[in-house]
């Protein structure tokens, strides 16, 4: 059944990817009407997350952010499919580096330093990977969760690796990074996924107790790789710009939890500045902080 569904849907996905952007965004608006006004896809989750994250905002403000978020989500969904057929020139036009960002990665490459990159589900992280691989001297690896449906997982794998990005399954992260330690590379960790309570680092994020994966910090310290934070800002519809800043040049000198706190605070800062382009439909706060004995 999964194979049949995939082969029925794949021609439609390729057709979407070939459409010019103005037509794509007309379809995106139709999908928005369907998801937000008719189906109400995870609307309760989104609104509840927004209320708890921004207790100072009025209901009118929360509702507006929610609507803006669904418009962004629908654009993001269709923009991701665009990766199947978009040209290199068009990709670099629609997702670019901010002044100084590429220079930071070139400087690290010239110093023969591999990098740990940390980011959130903010802006268009899928397009960011494409631009990295097209412009950066380092080989980009992205840590990812394979999709349960193997056919759609293969499709996503094809899209994410089309411009040279390589993927590492989360369960193989440390082993693969050790195997690649003699290569000049960048390994990207998306740090705002929800870990289990076990071994999570707990902090306050957007006014809520929040577990954070320790993996980024632990691996940065073990391999002594500098940690760079990347922010993918939306300039206008279909156009994104990546900013980069050095979070920690020498992880070996940090205390426990310091790197986790650094990247969490930076993501929080970005979300507060532009809340509609973060993944609010994700159940980020489904776990509760364990009660210490």
pLDDT of residue 183: 96
What whole-number distance in Å separates Cα of residue 292 and Cα of residue 269?
29
Neighbours of 61 (CB within 10 A): 13
User: What distance in Å separates the CA atoms of residue 236 and residue 91, rounded to the nearest whole number?
Assistant: 15
pLDDT for the residue 4: 77
Q: Is residue 198 situated within a structural domain?
A: yes
Assess if residue 207 is contained within a domain.
yes
Q: Is position 256 within any domain?
A: yes
In a domain, 77, yes or no: yes
Residue 292 has a pLDDT of: 66
**145 — phi, psi (to 5°)?**
-100, 115
Residue 286 falls inside a structural domain: no
The answer to whether residue 151 sits within a structural domain is yes
Torsion sign, CA atoms 264, 267, 269, 271? negative
For position 2, what pLDDT does the model report? 66
Q: For tokens 């994020």, name the residue.
A: 205
Residue at 257 is within a domain: yes
Say whether 235 sits in a helix, a strand or coil: strand
d(CA 174, CA 191): 15
Tell me whether residue 244 is in a domain.
yes
Query: What is the domain extent for residue 30?
Result: 2-277
Crossing angle between the packed helical segments 59-82 and 125-135, to the nearest 10 degrees: 40
Those residues with Cβ within 8 angstroms of residue 1's Cβ, 6 or more apart along the chain or in another chain: none
Q: What share of the chain is helix, strand, coil (3-state, %, to 5)?
A: 50, 20, 30
pLDDT at position 149: 81
Instruction: Say what the pTM is.
Output: 0.93
How many domains is the chain partitioned into structurally?
Answer: 1
Q: Which pLDDT belongs to residue 67? A: 98
- Tens-digit pLDDT profile for the chain (293 aa)? 667 777 788 999 999 999 999 999 999 999 999 999 999 999 999 999 999 999 999 999 999 999 999 999 999 999 999 999 999 999 999 999 998 999 999 999 999 999 999 999 999 999 999 999 999 999 999 999 888 788 888 999 999 999 999 999 988 999 999 999 999 999 999 999 888 777 899 999 999 999 999 999 999 999 999 999 999 999 999 999 999 999 999 999 999 999 999 999 999 999 999 999 999 999 899 888 887 64
**What pLDDT score does 7 carry?**
77
Would you say 186 and 133 are in contact if contact means Cβ atoms under 8 Å apart? no
């Amino acid at each position: 059944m999964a194979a049949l569904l995939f082969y029925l849907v794949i021609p439609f996905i390729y057709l979407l990817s070939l459409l010019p952007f103005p037509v794509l965004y007309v379809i995106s608006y139709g999908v928005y009407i369907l998801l937000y006004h008719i189906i109400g896809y995870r609307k309760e989750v989104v609104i509840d997350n927004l209320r708890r994250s921004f207790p100072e905002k009025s209901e009118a403000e929360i509702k507006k952010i929610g609507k803006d978020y669904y418009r962004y989500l629908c654009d993001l969904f269709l923009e991701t499919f665009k990766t199947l057929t978009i040209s290199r020139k068009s990709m670099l036009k629609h997702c670019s580096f901010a002044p100084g960002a590429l220079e930071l990665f070139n400087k690290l490459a010239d110093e023969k330093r591999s990098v740990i990159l940390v980011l959130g589900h903010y802006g268009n992280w899928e397009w960011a990977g494409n631009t990295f691989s097209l412009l950066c001297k380092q080989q980009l690896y992205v840590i990812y969760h394979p999709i349960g449906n193997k056919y759609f997982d293969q499709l996503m794998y094809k899209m994410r690796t089309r411009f040279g990005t390589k993927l590492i399954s989360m369960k193989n992260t440390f082993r693969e990074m050790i195997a690649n330690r003699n290569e000049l590379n960048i390994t990207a960790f998306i740090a705002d996924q929800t870990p289990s309570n076990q071994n999570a680092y707990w902090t306050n994020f957007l006014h809520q107790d929040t577990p954070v994966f320790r993996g980024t910090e632990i691996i940065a310290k073990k391999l002594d790789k500098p940690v760079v934070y990347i922010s993918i800002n939306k300039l206008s519809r279909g156009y994104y710009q990546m900013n980069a800043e050095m979070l920690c040049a020498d992880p070996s000198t940090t205390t426990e939890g310091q790197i986790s706190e650094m990247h969490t605070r930076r993501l929080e800062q970005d979300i507060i500045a532009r809340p509609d382009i973060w993944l609010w439909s994700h159940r980020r706060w489904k776990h509760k902080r364990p009660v210490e004995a």
